[in-house]
């Protein structure tokens, strides 16, 4: 982080423009677009076009038309900007290539990195992937494919050291009598930064005021009527919200099950952290800016919030993962991670990698200017390989462990992973339908096993079917199965043949996600 990747991009684009070619630059989050656009327009002026989903249809059409006519030769945007109508593109740059937002998880489903690779090969262009925390898939490609080159930038561009990392064991904090969500170390560091008139960034990878309500008498937790998930408590509107289907209901005064008045809020969302932070620093002149999916709904909301943070003399930027990468504010000297454990134990083989990426990226927001930076990570799992890798600035502590796990269990990058999802209002119909798909796939590959073995290839595996982690969403029951196939094998043909044999069933829907990222 802070090694000067953006400057490398700018100089590479300058070279392409001198040759009469254009460039496409992709960023993972809309929140990164304003700052990125400002830098690129500062270098290339009005020849920069912008494309992303928060623009109106008319604004997108105007930008699209400028690109098509060749009046703009540099395109900056989210993943869909890859398909901008540029006639003579010489370079495609994917910044923060590790981000899961580069995976399109609705039809047409694709991995931006793979589509971009195909496009540049067919047009004689070049693809540049940039990240301080490159994906294990990209690193593996560099190791096994001659056409992929790995270039390392191990130091910060300004020669300054990486920030000091302080890992706080929250179990010890609790045992020592601290009941606050802020450890003593984080409180003291915040006071010191604010007293100096500097800025801080606080990360909480959750939304809302609290995760859920729980009755302390009977254990009842309010759940969505249409989804098998608990409802999230939002303080400002005093309501419970389902973050899957959007359903809302008022907060009950007493437990709907037993009538007890003891409904306790469990978990901590950004609104609750904001409330407690305001109380903590009430006697100091400080601007608190909350940046999450709720506060950035409006047009240009990302840009306005970041401009407020930039303009403030002393401020704390509190937010979810959208604040963790790409932002460059030299005045930030402290980064605090309120709860590092949330993403570590999700039932997903990529959970550790995503947690590492998030922590390493947000740590990189500290100390990018002349003043040294400090990072405080609050966790109940201080010995986890992810936490240790971030604390010691040594990614191999985590990646060596994670790659060994994936190799033994056969997960990407060592196989291709396909997620077949079936959903229906009728639970039995969905379960029966996916069971028939699984049976046909297993039968097909069992019969073809000798051919795979003669070719020196592993036989594709079928895991499941099983109910999804969130079995019921938007009043639909969901089941899925996973297919692990050898890298390079065209597994789509086999799945397509089996789906045609099963045929369609009224009221049952199916999706096939090749190179799946979301397994929930």
Greatest C-alpha distance within the chain: 74
Looking at the chain, the whole-number percentage of residues with pLDDT higher than 90 is: 51
The whole-number pLDDT of residue 177 equals 87
pLDDT in tens, 334-364: 999 988 877 776 667 888 898 898 898 888 8
CA distance 106 to 23: 26
pTM over 0.85: no
In the block, tokens 């494309």 appear at 51
Q: What is the pLDDT of residue 266?
A: 67
- pLDDT tens-digit profile of 464-497? 899 887 888 888 999 999 999 999 899 999 999 9
Per residue in 26-63, pLDDT tens? 998 776 667 788 889 999 999 999 998 878 899 999 99
Please report the sign of the dihedral spanned by the C-alpha atoms of residue 77, residue 78, residue 83, residue 88: positive
- Lowest-confidence range among 14-18, 73-77, 369-373, 506-510? 369-373
Question: Which of the four pLDDT bands, split at 50, 70 and 90, describes residue 84?
Answer: very high
Note the pLDDT of residue 9.
96
Place of tokens 């999916």: 293
Name the DSSP letter for residue 101.
Answer: G
Cβ contacts of residue 192 below 8 Å, gap of 6+?
Answer: none
- Which is nearest to 427 in space by CA: 481, 464, 467, 465? 467
List helix spans (H) across 164-258.
170-175, 184-195
Q: Report the pLDDT value the prediction gives residue 334, as an integer from 0 to 100.
A: 93
pLDDT in tens, 94-150: 999 999 889 998 889 999 999 999 999 999 999 999 998 999 999 999 999 999 999
With CA atoms as reference, report the closest residue to 275 among 320, 232, 235: 235
Per-residue pLDDT averaged across 315-325, rounded? 83
Terminal CA-CA length for the chain: 30
């Amino acid at each position: 982080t802070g090694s000067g990747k953006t400057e490398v991009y700018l100089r590479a684009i300058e070279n392409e423009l001198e040759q009469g070619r254009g460039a496409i630059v992709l960023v993972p989050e809309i929140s990164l677009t304003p700052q990125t656009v400002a830098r690129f327009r500062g270098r290339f002026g009005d020849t920069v076009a912008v494309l992303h989903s928060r623009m109106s249809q008319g604004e997108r059409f105007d930008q699209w038309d400028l690109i098509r006519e060749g009046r703009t030769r540099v395109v900056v945007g989210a993943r869909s900007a890859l398909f901008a109508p540029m006639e003579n593109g010489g370079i495609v740059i994917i910044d923060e290539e590790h981000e899961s937002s580069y995976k399109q998880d609705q039809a047409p489903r694709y991995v931006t990195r793979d589509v971009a690779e195909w496009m540049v090969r067919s047009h004689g262009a070049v693809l540049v992937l940039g990240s301080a925390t490159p994906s294990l898939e990209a690193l593996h490609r560099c190791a096994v494919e001659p056409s992929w080159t790995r270039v390392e930038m191990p130091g910060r561009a300004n020669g300054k050291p990486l920030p000091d990392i302080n890992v706080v064991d929250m179990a010890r904090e609790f045992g020592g009598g601290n009941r606050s969500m802020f450890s003593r170390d984080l409180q003291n560091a915040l006071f010191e930064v604010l007293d100096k008139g500097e800025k801080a960034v606080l990360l909480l990878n959750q939304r809302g005021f609290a995760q859920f309500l729980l009755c302390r008498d009977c254990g009842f937790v309010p759940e969505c009527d249409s989804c098998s998930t608990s409802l999230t408590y939002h303080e400002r509107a005093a309501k419970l919200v389902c973050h899957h289907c959007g359903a809302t209901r008022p907060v009950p005064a007493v437990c709907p099950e037993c009538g007890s008045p003891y409904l306790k809020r469990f978990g901590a969302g950004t609104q609750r952290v904001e409330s407690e932070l305001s109380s903590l620093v009430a006697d100091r002149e400080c601007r608190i800016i909350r940046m999450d999916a709720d506060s950035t709904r409006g047009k240009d909301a990302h840009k306005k919030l970041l401009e407020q943070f930039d303009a403030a003399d002393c401020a704390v930027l509190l937010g979810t993962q959208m604040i963790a990468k790409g932002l460059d504010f030299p005045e930030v000297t402290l980064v605090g991670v309120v709860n590092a454990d949330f993403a570590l134990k999700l039932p997903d083989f990529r959970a550790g990698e995503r947690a590492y990426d998030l922590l390493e990226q947000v740590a990189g927001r500290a100390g990018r200017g002349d003043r040294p930076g400090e990072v405080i990570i609050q966790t109940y799992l201080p010995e986890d390989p992810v936490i240790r890798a971030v604390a010691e600035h040594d990614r191999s502590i985590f990646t060596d462990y994670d790659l060994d796990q994936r190799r033994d269990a056969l997960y990407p990058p060592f196989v291709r992973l396909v997620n077949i999802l079936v959903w229906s209002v009728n639970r039995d119909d969905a379960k029966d339908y996916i069971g028939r798909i699984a049976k046909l796939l297993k039968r097909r590959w069992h019969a073809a096993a000798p051919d795979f073995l003669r070719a020196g290839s592993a036989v594709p595996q079928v895991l499941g079917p099983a109910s999804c982690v969130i079995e019921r969403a938007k009043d639909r029951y969901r089941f899925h199965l996973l297919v692990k196939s050898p890298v390079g094998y065209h597994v789509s043909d086999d799945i397509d043949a089996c789906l045609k044999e099963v045929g369609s069933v009224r009221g049952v829907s199916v999706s096939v996600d090749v190179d799946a990222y979301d397994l929930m």
